[in-house]
């Protein structure tokens, strides 16, 4: 598993292409001599990569996990019991707009509208978590 960071030496275009490489949908992306697929295959949230950060806001539009420890909540809990966090999952309206075919381009507009609507409803909670970092 590789996390592409600003100093990874990987062009943004290549990193995004790798992130779009979903098995059985799009082929792996080759960068140098290595092949990469979407990090969502490891975890839908990857919240455990936020080691050393507090607070943590995790956006999990799909939020699928086979084990509780792999959910965003479980991953954040594994980082420490006193970490301030907020996990935002797609609400019922957003899930309906996204449907079951997450990569279907025909669903982009409805998904974006539903996401915007949900974002406005959780904005205050997100602001409160961020503000707790300064308290």
Q: Is the peptide bond before 55 cis (omega within 30 degrees of 0)?
A: yes
pTM value is 0.76
Q: Do 122 and 100 share a structural domain?
A: yes
Query: β-pairing, 34-36 with 29-31?
Result: antiparallel
At residue 135, the pLDDT reads: 65
At residue 68, the pLDDT reads: 62
Q: Do 51 and 116 share a structural domain?
A: yes
Q: Which domain holds residue 14?
A: 1-41
At residue 12, the pLDDT reads: 93
22 contact partners, CB below 8 Å, separation of at least 6: 37, 38, 40, 41, 103
62 is written with which tokens?
A: 């799909």
Better-scored residue on pLDDT, 121 or 1? 121
Helices then strands, each counted (H, E), the chain: 4, 4
Q: Do 52 and 87 share a structural domain?
A: yes
Q: Do 32 and 56 share a structural domain?
A: no
How far CA 72 is from CA of 8, 9, 86, in Å, comes to 25, 28, 9
Q: Do 108 and 68 share a structural domain?
A: yes
The structural domain count of the chain equals 2
- The chain-wide mean pLDDT, for the chain, equals 89
């Amino acid at each position: 598993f590789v996390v592409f960071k600003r100093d990874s030496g990987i062009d943004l275009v290549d990193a995004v292409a790798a992130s779009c490489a979903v098995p059985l949908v799009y082929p792996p992306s080759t960068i140098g001599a290595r092949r990469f697929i979407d990090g969502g295959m490891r975890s839908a949230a990857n919240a455990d990569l936020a080691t050393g950060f507090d607070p943590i806001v995790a956006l999990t539009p799909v939020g699928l996990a086979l084990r509780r420890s792999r959910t965003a909540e479980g991953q954040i809990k594994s980082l420490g019991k006193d970490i301030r966090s907020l996990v935002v999952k797609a609400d019922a309206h957003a899930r309906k707009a996204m449907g079951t075919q997450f990569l279907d381009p025909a669903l982009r507009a409805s998904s974006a509208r539903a996401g915007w609507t949900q974002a406005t409803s959780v904005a205050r909670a997100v602001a409160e978590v961020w503000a707790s970092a300064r308290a």
